Amino acid sequence: MTKRILLVDGMALLFRHFYATSVHKNFMITSKGIPTNGTQGFVRHVLRAVTDIQPTHMAICWDMGKTTFRNELFQGYKQNRPEPPEALMPQFSHVQHISEALGFFNIGLPNYEADDVIGTLATQTGQNMEHQVYVITGDRDLLQCTAENIHIWLVKKGFTEYLKFDDAAFRDHYGLAPKQLIDVKAFMGDTADGYPGVKGIGEKTAIKLIQQYGSVENVIANIASLTAGQQKKINADMDNLVCSKQLAEIVCDAPINTDELWQQMAFTPDFSHILNVCDQHELRVAKKYVQTL
């Protein structure tokens, strides 16, 4: 029997909906003084996805803190990001509390990012080709995990518009295998995550190099065949190139036993309970939206 697994990047949705409403100063503060604009956007988005995908199993994946093993590899990793706005701070714990109250299975792993948790759960559950895995995120890095039955949906607009990728769509768009995105990111770096790649090599050049040579290692092995400018850039940033490839790769074998979690991930929506939770926590905008589903 086909199972449909929904994996959600919780922080990505929280941030997205916080900023979408905070620009209008619409923080949706409860009688207890708790801002809920990000939380309510998260609730609306997840429940719309549940309606659209009809998952049999789901998990909301969370970051567990600022530092992970990647900070040990590169001290500047994600250290360029500003502190979150004051109105967002209390919603980090609040959204996870609400998520649990709604009956969603929450998971995070110390020393790993939510991407690594998603990558591991997607890869492990996707080993069974009768399983269809759907990942909702705003992070293009997760495209490296696409497969025939692993669908990465990048949030585009609102609660329903996505850029949708599976293995075939990725190959058609990039002219690469999904895992080769790691090598592309190694060259181009990531300004949002704060790691450098090779200075002066952007996405277009990186894609051409990997299309021609297949991997970072093969580019290095054939460096004499490159233009003088490319050779100079790569030799100047060789250490950063090697380190950036490690940083770009999502861990798909984090210490998670999916078999043990399978029953906890089983999900059947109870909309009566969900509406009660919205009432209890003064999530009026979310409740109004849920009633339309």
> CA 152, CA 166: separation in Å to the nearest integer?
6
- Looking at the structure, tell me whether residues 93 and 193 fall in a common domain: no
- Burial of 2 per CB tally in 10 Å (0-12, 13-18, 19+): exposed
- Looking at the structure, tell me whether residues 133 and 227 fall in a common domain: no
Q: Sign of torsion, CA 107 111 113 116?
A: negative
Is 80 exceeded by the pLDDT of residue 156?
A: yes
- Looking at the structure, tell me whether residues 84 and 224 fall in a common domain: no
Q: What is the pLDDT of residues 73-130, one digit of tens each?
A: 999 899 888 899 999 999 999 999 999 999 999 999 999 999 999 999 999 999 999 9
- Looking at the structure, tell me whether residues 156 and 185 fall in a common domain: no
The CATH number linked to 159 is 3.40.50.1010
pLDDT for 80: 85
pLDDT for 170: 97
Phi, psi of 165 (to 5 degrees): -125, 135
- Looking at the structure, tell me whether residues 125 and 48 fall in a common domain: yes
Phi, psi of 154 (to 5 degrees): -85, 125
| For range 37-57, the mean pLDDT | 97
- Looking at the structure, tell me whether residues 227 and 281 fall in a common domain: no
Q: What is the pLDDT of residues 56-78, one digit of tens each?
A: 999 999 999 889 999 999 998 99
Q: What is the pLDDT of residues 260-270, one digit of tens each?
A: 999 999 999 99
Phi, psi of 179 (to 5 degrees): -65, -20
H/E element holding 116? helix 114-126
Token pair for 271: 């909309």
Is 80 exceeded by the pLDDT of residue 154?
A: yes
Q: Strand 150-157 relative to strand 161-165: parallel, antiparallel, unpaired?
A: antiparallel
- Looking at the structure, tell me whether residues 160 and 276 fall in a common domain: yes
pLDDT for 66: 84
The CATH number linked to 196 is 1.10.150.20
- Looking at the structure, tell me whether residues 147 and 120 fall in a common domain: yes
Token pair for 207: 């894609």
Structural domains of the chain, count:
2
Residue 145 contacts residue 123 (beta carbons within 8 Å): yes
DSSP lists the bridge partners of residue 8 as 60, 136
- Looking at the structure, tell me whether residues 57 and 113 fall in a common domain: yes
Q: What pTM was estimated for this model as a whole?
A: 0.96
- Looking at the structure, tell me whether residues 47 and 112 fall in a common domain: yes
Q: Strand 131-137 relative to strand 150-157: parallel, antiparallel, unpaired?
A: parallel
Is 80 exceeded by the pLDDT of residue 163?
A: yes
Find the domain containing 61 and state its range: 3-173+257-291
- Looking at the structure, tell me whether residues 165 and 186 fall in a common domain: no
- Looking at the structure, tell me whether residues 32 and 78 fall in a common domain: yes
Q: What is the pLDDT of residues 227-273, one digit of tens each?
A: 999 999 999 999 999 999 999 999 999 999 999 999 999 999 999 99
